[in-house]
Amino acid sequence: MVVMTNSAAVLADAAAYAAAVEEASVAAAAYYATGESGLDDDAYDRLARGIAAYEADHPEEVLAASPTGKVAGGAAVGDVPHTVPMLSLDNVFSAEQFATWTASLERRIGRPVTAWSVEPKLDGLAVAARYRDGRFERLITRGDGTAGEDVSHAAGAVVGLPERLAEPVTIEVRGEILMTNDQFDQGNAIRTEHGGAPFANPRNGAAGTLRAKDRAYRVETTFFAYGALPLPDSGELGETLAELPHSEVLSYVAGLGVHTAAGTDVAPVLAATVEEVQARVDAIGSLRAALPFGIDGIVIKADLAADQREAGSGTRAPRWAIAYKLPAVEKITRLVSVEWNVGRTGIIAPRAVLEPVEIDGSTVGYATLHNPADITRRDLRLGDQVMVYKAGDIIPRIEAPVVHLRTGDETPIDFPESCPQCGSAIDTSEQRWRCTRGRNCRLVASVSYAAGRDQLDIEGLGATRVVQLVDAGLVADFADLFTLERAQLLALDRMGETSTDNLLAAIETARTRPLSRVFCALGVRGTGRSMSRRIARYFATMDRIVAADVDTLQQVDGIGKEKAAAVVAELVELAPLIAKLVAAGVNMTEPGATPPPEPGTEEAAGADAEAGGDGGTGPTLPLAGMTVVVTGAMTGALEKLSRNQMNELIERAGGKSSSSVSKRTSLLVAGDKAGSKRTKAEDLGVRIAVPEEFAELVGAFLAAGENA
């Protein structure tokens, strides 16, 4: 009997052990051959740990097929010998396990390790790229660690692996080949266009692409180097590489023109202590969801060559490096059904109902499905085993069905023939289907959204009250809120004089909200709070926004041609609503913003068209040209501001608000319990301010915005 726990499989007896070994062997063979394993990474790791635990208790029963202590679980093969064994890494799963491992390593070499290299564990396939006299010669998979498979035919489609190095050296560069998120999406689109089944996940895509020959199409992958070693005829380079710290080897490889992780948000860093390593582990973990490629952990290596030599290696893994595994963000589960929900703008959005599965610390029962075309492209069917991805606060998504696990009992997904909300016809002319009644289909949701805290912030106007207003025929859109009369409200159930007067006062205050709030309340598809602020600050008035064409809208930061065209079309549809708002006396200007100069003038020629900046008001704005990130709990004058209000304050003061720290960040406002964002800002040398300092910096704008 096999019992799966959160940490390992518990094997009750020899029969359960033998079954587990067979399951692991089959899964490993599929994983390392094509990436099409029937187990996700977390399930395989737990099974492998269970096998190892049983073998530790029953050493006399160890089977020859066991994956324990073998590179690639003993499943991979190859016929091209490696000059130096290409090993796997042992794993740890917690700070306690990592501290135990470091203590063991330091006991082995007889001294403290004073330099650790901390780098991302990329979720790809390990390969070795050989160069002779600076020219690419061969690409080899890891295989069983002693020999790998020649996949040189795929090298031409690998980004970051140059045909020729910057110097005429003979060297072997080792690294990972993976698919970035964009490459995965593009690869699946190309693959399905040619009649192929979609890749289950990026690693599956990279594995299949690397080994595929004679395809009628080309799919790109990306290479990240994690080390290098000399070939037998490398000459003096061999002696040099043997003595360089690992971090300097990576720098040397990057100088040759080979791609490394140095330019990413999770670039390798050096740490002097276990505490510094753990802080970097936490920082990388917090960035995981926002990365453009997959990682499943952090690799920690003793940086100095002398430490590596004295630690040595086992048959499976080096003793001077470890993989600190992060919680799984991908799991395989079953697609039970698909729900069709209608949003406040009339968009009909499918949602996957899943057999519940725990991912990244939470139970996932639903996942996003973008549109009907996405369902068709991925060839999803009810009953499919699907790969589900979730990281941090990211909404879970289905990456693809695991096609090789199909039983034949799966059934097609039925698409709605009429609006699930009101029964009206559906406009299917675009990828995202929409009820032909548009916003009127979900009028209550549309008005409630407009009245919400981050839009017009009309206190006392909850969904129940909106239903009353709609049912009474008093509101056909949110502009009608501004023409409500006291007698009309008093006639409604549970509306006394006090509640009526309070609501009318809140509506009157909403009439004076800045343009950015009003524009956000319109709910223009493809925009949100941040984009609404950038649009409002760039154009300064609603009439200029409405008059803007596609080219002009593209001057706003973050708006490309496709989005600009969608916004223009949406504003045409919303023109009657905007006219009603103007007639009702709703504010249509953005405080502190200066409209862009007219095209063709001298001012236009020299104007900075970057939205979210100072809107033409120049360097008088204290945050002009700065990108600001806010984290932690605010105190003092900022304590009562929501995060959205903080972002508004930043942009009124000329800055650009952002949610993540990077090399482009100018300032981090760090409140109580700032956490990993503060750590990353410190690593990058980003200026850090406490809330009181920031409040003083933007004091004039803080005072002016108290009633916004």
| 322, β-bridge pairs | 300
Between CA 620 and CA 611 the distance in angstroms is 17
The span from the CA of 433 to the CA of 426, in Å, is: 7
Say if CB 45 and CB 325 are below 8 A apart: yes
Which one-letter DSSP state was computed for residue 516? Answer: H
In 34-160, where does DSSP find H-type helix?
41-57, 95-109
Contact 227, 249 (CB under 8 A): yes
- Catalytic, 121? Answer yes
Q: How far apart are CA 149 and CA 177, in angstroms?
A: 14
Q: Which element (helix H / strand E) includes 367?
A: strand 362-368
Q: At 186, is the secondary structure helix, strand, or coil?
A: helix
- Which tokens is 44 given? 């395989």
Bridge-based pairing of strands 9-11 and 2-4 is antiparallel
User: Could you write out the three-class secondary structure of 127-150?
Assistant: EEEEEECCEEEEEEECCCCCEECE
| d(C-alpha 83, C-alpha 232), whole Å | 8
Torsion angle in degrees (nearest 10) through CA of 399, 403, 409, 414: 40
Rounded to whole angstroms, the Cα distance separating 417 from 427 reads 10
Written as one letter, the residue type at 355 is: E
CA–chain centroid gap for 400, Å, is: 17
How far apart CA 467 and CA 493 sit, in angstroms, is 12
Please give the span between the terminal C-alpha atoms of the chain, in angstroms, as a whole number.
64
Q: Residues 382, 337: contact at Cβ < 8 Å? A: yes
Q: Which of 121, 301, 331, 656 is catalytic?
A: 121
CA pseudo-torsion sign 516, 521, 527, 528: positive
| CA pair distance 699, 543, nearest whole angstrom | 30
| Alpha helices per DSSP H over 341-495 | 372-378, 443-450, 463-471, 486-490
Q: Which residues are catalytic?
A: 121
